[in-house]
Amino acid sequence: MSSRARSRASPAASSSQVRDTVGRSVEEPPLFEIGSSLREARQRRGLALADVERDIHVRSRYLTALEDDRFEDLPGPAYAKGFLRTYAEFLGLEGQRFVDEYNSRFAPDDEPAAPPPVRIQRRRRLRDRVLIGLPIVAVVAGLLAWQTTRGGGPKHETMPTSSPPTTAPAPSRQPPPANRPPAVARLSFVAARGPSWLAVHVGSASGPAVYVRTLDQGQTARFVSRRLWVRVGAPWNLDARLNGKPVSLPATTGNVLATSAGLAQR
């Protein structure tokens, strides 16, 4: 059964609730479609494909293929899953959930068979050369015996010896490098002690704004991009984490710049 046939035959997923970047519960439709979910999330944030390409360094034609569920247009399953995880997390979605859905629908059925070991082939070629050389050795031995019976002994002549030709080992094929998604900053805020106003821009203070509002106590906001410029209104009320590790915010209202290397005050 083809990958697209499997995707049509798969049962409808039960409806569930997820939280958006401000912590509100959002009812998902019963059917979870990978491409349409990505497209709707991008359009809700007012982002064009060119904006996403600039921030996560994945070509627009590959982003379009993801949104259209045309995974056969991607370089391979490893690239498809890497692009899918990076794109989903950039939009504030759960990247692993999209990868799991891709695996359940489009993962290949059979792994390609490994090529036979080269060592066995070399031994077989050596055995064939030995079998071919045995009749030649027998002929040479017969000639020596005939000369001995006629001339009273063999003449002391050195017979030229030739070694079987050696073949250079076949060059080993190096596996293609695994896809590595671009390094991004995964920044999250939790309003643990009270509300705080946040303004989040992609790239710099003049970049596109992806979040400008108050984060109420108990809510969580997550952002993924190569560079995130953030103005924090009440940092003393927030707990922040960058790429899974706690980071310190300014003691007073201020600006920070988040990259994969760390968090810096601006």
Provide the pLDDT for residue 134: 56
For residue 117, pLDDT over 60 is answered with: no
Provide the pLDDT for residue 142: 58
3-class secondary structure per residue, 131-153: HHHHHHHHHHHHHHHHHHHHHCC
Q: How many Å apart are CA 255 and CA 74, to the nearest integer? A: 39
Q: Which band of pLDDT confidence, cut at 50, 70 and 90, is reported for residue 181?
A: low
| Lowest mean pLDDT across 5-14, 87-96, 125-134 | 5-14
> Strand 185-191 and strand 238-242: pairing?
antiparallel
Q: Taking Cα atoms as reference points, which of 52, 66, 70 lies closest to residue 182?
A: 52
- Range 185-265 classified under CATH 2.60.40: yes
For residue 207, pLDDT over 60 is answered with: yes
Predicted TM-score (pTM) above 0.85: no
CB atoms within 10 A of CB 16: 12
For residue 224, pLDDT over 80 is answered with: yes
Q: How many Å apart are CA 235 and CA 232, to the nearest integer? A: 6
Q: How many Å apart are CA 189 and CA 215, to the nearest integer? A: 9
Domain boundaries, given as residue ranges, for the chain? 3-106, 185-265
pLDDT mean over 86-90: 93
Q: Which band of pLDDT confidence, cut at 50, 70 and 90, is reported for residue 150?
A: low
| Lowest mean pLDDT across 90-104, 173-187, 250-264 | 173-187
Provide the pLDDT for residue 176: 56
- Range 3-106 classified under CATH 1.10.260.40: yes
| Lowest mean pLDDT across 101-115, 157-171, 252-266 | 157-171
Helix, strand, or coil (residue 7): helix
199 class by beta-carbon count within 10 Å (0-12 exposed, 13-18 middle, 19+ buried) = middle
